[in-house]
Structure 1
Amino acid sequence: MDLDKQSLCQLLFADSADFIDNSVLESDECQDYLDYMCSSGIENLLRQKDCFEEEKQIILKDTKKLASENYKTFIKSSECVSDINEKFTEIDGKLQSLAEQLPAFNQKFLTFNDEVGHILNQKRQNNQTLLKHNQLLETLEVTQLMDTCVRNHYYDEGLELCSFVRRLEKRLDHVPLIKSIAGDVDKLKQVMLQQLFHQLKGSIQLPVCLKLIGYLRRMELYREDQLRMKFLQARGSWLRNIIKSVPKTDPYTHITKVIELNRVHLFDVVTQYRALFANEEQVFVVHVSSANLRNIFNSWILNRVNEFLDMLRDDLKAGASARIESVLNQAMYFGLSFSRIGADFRMLMLPVFNEVIVENFESKLEQVLVSFKSILSCYTFTGTSISANTIVQLIAQPGTVNPPSDLVLYPPLSWTVNEVISILNELRSCCPCSCENEIVNAMDLFVEKYAMILSEYYTNEKSTMTSKEIETFTNTCKAFKESLAPFLLKAPRKIFRPNENILDEKLNLEAKLLPLTAVIEPI
């Protein structure tokens, strides 16, 4: 709009310029009217107010006429407008309520969308499950199949199932069902392990041992050294149970049966062990040296030998020593048979036999001393009816020592020599050379105690003895010192060294009989 028109507009609409829209002023009709005004004269401009008034009246008249002619239409239009306003007001209220509920609706829609997605996912999984029904059924039946294999001893199939489950668990360890199946299979695997060890503790041959150890190796539960220990423990338990079943009523029968069982079965176990496990020098085991592998077997053999030696010692002391020669022969044959496997333990048995032989010898000599005390307590030294001229002198064979014949004049001494000879004869039937010193020392101690008993008897009884009894007692003591004591001291030495000439000086007789000499000399 040019400057003239702007000035004209300000003059015409000075009072209502703020209420007139610029778009109205710039419309074509307004521009035409302004052009007309600008081109009109003064008179025409002065007449414009009257023209406007006339035109206003005409418009009002036309409006009234139109309103009167279209009254009903205006009424209906007014009603329509009123209804439309009410409807718009109602719609506005509902729109506001809808706008308020839209966030909750949106949240529920999102929740519904998630649920639908979950349902669709489950449906997809169910469809996949249906497609893989046969494979899933086989997987679910693994536990039942494993139980059947364990119950019926189908160990090959059972180990294959264990391998299958182990691979399945590595691949699907996040699936709870697979973890549950793996746990059940592990429990059944332990049952199978117990069955295998139970069979190892039974009477089985080498082929069965090979199969059982093969199963244990396939289970991969033990290292090489642990597997060897488990095998030896199981077979040792079986051997121990067999030996425990032997009745112990007769010690000799018990020990001979134990020797036979150990000789047969222990050798079988060693044979099985060497067939099942390779040579230690050819085995490579992580963290396990060949020396440790050898020590496992050597320690087990040593424990079995020690158990046998304990049984041998107990049975010999319980009464089997009465036939000790037979027991010794069988035990030595048993030890010799193990030389084939490098485990000859005969030298370990010698101390046991020596101990029992020496203990029996000492015990019997002690019984002789006890009996001799009892004899002295009721014996009276009144002399003997046997004449010295009637005594028959025995001729000693080369390398032997005969008891002095004059001892028959003294009943206590003759009884003693008979008892001791009986004990020495039993000893001679089985007397290892290694126990020579113990036997000789036991006899030396016996002679000393015998002399002590005689001296104590005189000390206690001399006040009641007659001169005749004292004389007889003195002769008895002299016979003991000059005849019985040297014989008793030489006899055991001759058993071990029959060709050696034993001099009286070597016996140290005076020192051993010192208590008795102190009694005899004053008399």
Structure 2
Amino acid sequence: QPCALTNQPLSNMTAVDVEDESILASIFKDSFPDNWRDNPDFAAYLSELSSFGVEKLNREPERLAEERAQILQQTRELAYSNYKTFIRTEDIYRDFGRVESSVSKLLDKLPSFGEKCRGFVKDAEDIGASRRMNSLTLNRHTEILEILEIPQLLDTCVRNGYYEEALELAAYVKRLEKKHSSLPVIRGIVHEVRQSAQLMLNQLLQQLRSNSQLPVCLRVIGYLRRMDVFTEAELRVKFLQARGSWLRSILSTVPDDDPYCHISKTIEACRVHLFDIITQYRAIFSDEDPLLSPGGQDQVVNEGAIFHGWVVQQVSEFLETLDRDLQRGVGGRLDSLLGQCMYFGLSFSRVGADFRGQLAPMFQRVAADTFRKAVEEAIERFQEDMNLYTLISLPSMLGGSTLQTTSTQPCTLQPPMALLDFPPLACFLNNILTAFNDLRLCCPLGLAQQVTKYLEDALVKVTKLIVAFHRAEETAFSDREKELFVQFCCSFAEDMVPFLNRCLHVLFPPAQLSVIQGVPPTQIHKYSSLGCIDVSVR
């Protein structure tokens, strides 16, 4: 048995060739493990053993036994003398086993541990950076707090009306946004500031919708310009819209029960407040230079068109209100309204918005309708009187009735007293004179043809009623009644109709009509029926 083994392969031996190896394999078949073949000491011992003689081979087992006993004795002595070392070696071997196992486990856990260490290092760096940032934040705490309180401070300024300070804060926030728009905190501050700015915008526009004088309007427009939310043209439109809204709120409070009171107070409110608004507008905005529209340099927005359109709209709304109230009826106070409206239009001529030319057709139409209705009522009254009239009635039955006179020229216009003998004619003339007296208060020359036509139609209807009365009562007439009827017709044709012509001449002087028509006053009746009843029509 060899005492030592090496790791050298059998192919490196020089003492044993292939033939010797086959001999040894056949002799010692299954006598030693296969792994001994590769041991060089075993190959060397076999080579040496093959060179022994018979005697030496016989003594070889004894020598080997003695050598083995000697080695065992030496081993025992070595173990006895160094038993402590052997014991420690065994413990160390076990410890090495445990160490190896622990090292294996450690090696298995080292990758995850390394990953966690790297994560820890990163977290430590983040914590360090956060700590540095917190330290910097603590050092700048006062400044940061001021920035964070800007939205609250701005909202307080807006709600208390400190618009100058609010605009300064808004401008500062705009500068912050330009520099630090990527920061979420700054974006949040900007969003809150915009909400407060919208509140300020609503409050400023609301001031324009109230009873604000020129200094207040100047301040408000200045704030709106600094907010830079409207173009110059839009700012003008917003101003006019807001002031127009305030004017409409004033007009809506005027009582609407009585048409005359309603239109009178409306005229006064429009004349005062609308003139103030126009004055404020012209003091705030300059209309010397045209405004450039955002569409380009070639497109020009005329500021005068904006202002003119708004004024036209306000005047149109006033005229609509005036026409509506006139249609409802203002009694006999049409002349008073005409005077107020003319004064209103005259005051607006100072600002280039004279609308008196639009009043004449409106009042002319109302005056004509009023006269027409009065004439129709006179005809209805005359018809009723004729249905009850008898020619045997005595003048004493008139009960002291008198004829009205027109107050235009009382010395020259005295109604025919002969009509007192015929009550239907007297009452009819009284009703016509009442209509004339109402008409003379507001009697444009343009009504001459209409009034004449209405009066001619009325006289035609009166003539028909007289003819119908004669046909109904002719068979029962006595001689006295026939005589009275002839007098009745003569008074109508010779007294009342000429007198009505004189009244028309007073209302519509031929001299003035001739100027309009371009014909001599004595010849005007030949060219038209203006201010003169055409007797042939009857």
- Fold shared, TM-score > 0.5 on shorter chain: yes
Report the CA distance between 1:81 and its aligned residue. 5.6
Alignment match, 1:520:
none
Q: 1:448 aligns with which of 454, 460, 463?
A: 460
- The letter of the residue matching 1:121 is A
Alignment match, 1:216:
224
Alignment match, 1:417:
429
Counterpart-to-counterpart distance in 2, 1:481 and 1:48: 197
Q: 1:135 aligns with which of 117, 126, 143?
A: 143
- In the TM superposition, 1:96-107 aligns within 5 A as 96-107=104-115
What secondary structure sits across from 1:269 in the alignment?
Answer: helix
Alignment match, 2:152:
144
Q: 1:439 aligns with which of 440, 451, 470?
A: 451
Report the CA distance between 1:362 and its aligned residue. 1.5
Counterpart-to-counterpart distance in 2, 1:333 and 1:210: 29
Counterpart-to-counterpart distance in 1, 2:20 and 2:173: 99
Report the CA distance between 1:157 and its aligned residue. 1.0
My pick for the range that moved more, 175-184 or 79-88, is 79-88
Is the CA contact (8 Å cut-off) linking 1:283 and 1:290 kept in structure 2? Answer: yes
Report the CA distance between 1:456 and its aligned residue. 5.3
Alignment match, 1:391:
none
Is the CA contact (8 Å cut-off) linking 2:372 and 2:454 kept in structure 1? Answer: yes
Is the CA contact (8 Å cut-off) linking 1:443 and 1:489 kept in structure 2? Answer: no
Tell me if 1:351 matches 2:323: no
Is the CA contact (8 Å cut-off) linking 1:362 and 1:442 kept in structure 2? Answer: yes
- Quickly say closer, same or farther: Cα 1:83–1:406, change in 2 above 3 A: same
- Quickly say closer, same or farther: Cα 1:357–1:69, change in 2 above 3 A: same
- Quickly say closer, same or farther: Cα 1:324–1:104, change in 2 above 3 A: same
Q: 1:8 aligns with which of 15, 19, 35?
A: 15
What secondary structure sits across from 2:211 in the alignment?
Answer: coil
* Partner deviation per Cα, 1:432-489 (whole Å, 9 max, x = no partner): 1223333222223322333344455567x54996556576456534543454345446
Counterpart-to-counterpart distance in 2, 1:214 and 1:98: 78
- Quickly say closer, same or farther: Cα 1:86–1:327, change in 2 above 3 A: same
Pairwise CA RMSD: 4.2
What secondary structure sits across from 1:203 in the alignment?
Answer: coil
Is the CA contact (8 Å cut-off) linking 2:290 and 2:301 kept in structure 1? Answer: no
Is the CA contact (8 Å cut-off) linking 1:281 and 1:290 kept in structure 2? Answer: no
Counterpart-to-counterpart distance in 1, 2:466 and 2:161: 78
- Quickly say closer, same or farther: Cα 1:104–1:253, change in 2 above 3 A: same
* Partner deviation per Cα, 1:488-520 (whole Å, 9 max, x = no partner): 466435522334447599544444x3xxxxxxx
Is the CA contact (8 Å cut-off) linking 1:200 and 1:231 kept in structure 2? Answer: yes
- In the TM superposition, 1:165-314 aligns within 5 A as 165-247=173-255, 252=260, 254-279=262-287, 281-287=289-295, 290-314=300-324
Counterpart-to-counterpart distance in 1, 2:122 and 2:392: 128
- The letter of the residue matching 1:359 is D
- The letter of the residue matching 1:492 is L
- Quickly say closer, same or farther: Cα 1:254–1:7, change in 2 above 3 A: closer
Report the CA distance between 1:294 and its aligned residue. 2.4
Q: Percent identity, please.
A: 36
What secondary structure sits across from 2:246 in the alignment?
Answer: helix
Is the CA contact (8 Å cut-off) linking 2:148 and 2:189 kept in structure 1? Answer: yes
* Partner deviation per Cα, 1:353-382 (whole Å, 9 max, x = no partner): 112211221222222223223323333232
Is the CA contact (8 Å cut-off) linking 1:316 and 1:356 kept in structure 2? Answer: yes
Paired residue total: 489
- Quickly say closer, same or farther: Cα 1:70–1:485, change in 2 above 3 A: same
Counterpart-to-counterpart distance in 2, 1:285 and 1:503: 61
Alignment match, 1:476:
488
Counterpart-to-counterpart distance in 2, 1:424 and 1:202: 47
- The letter of the residue matching 2:237 is M
- The letter of the residue matching 1:194 is N
Report the CA distance between 1:195 and its aligned residue. 1.9
* Partner deviation per Cα, 1:238-293 (whole Å, 9 max, x = no partner): 33333444555665555444434433332222122122112253433423854553
Counterpart-to-counterpart distance in 2, 1:93 and 1:22: 31
Alignment match, 2:78:
70
Alignment match, 1:342:
352
- The letter of the residue matching 1:187 is Q
Q: What TM-score results when the alignment is normalised by the length of structure 2? A: 0.76
Counterpart-to-counterpart distance in 2, 1:290 and 1:68: 124
Report the CA distance between 1:421 and its aligned residue. 1.9
Counterpart-to-counterpart distance in 2, 1:68 and 1:47: 32
Is the CA contact (8 Å cut-off) linking 1:169 and 1:179 kept in structure 2? Answer: yes
Counterpart-to-counterpart distance in 1, 2:69 and 2:464: 179
Is the CA contact (8 Å cut-off) linking 1:462 and 1:470 kept in structure 2? Answer: no
Is the CA contact (8 Å cut-off) linking 1:225 and 1:293 kept in structure 2? Answer: yes
Alignment match, 1:516:
none
- Quickly say closer, same or farther: Cα 1:13–1:450, change in 2 above 3 A: farther
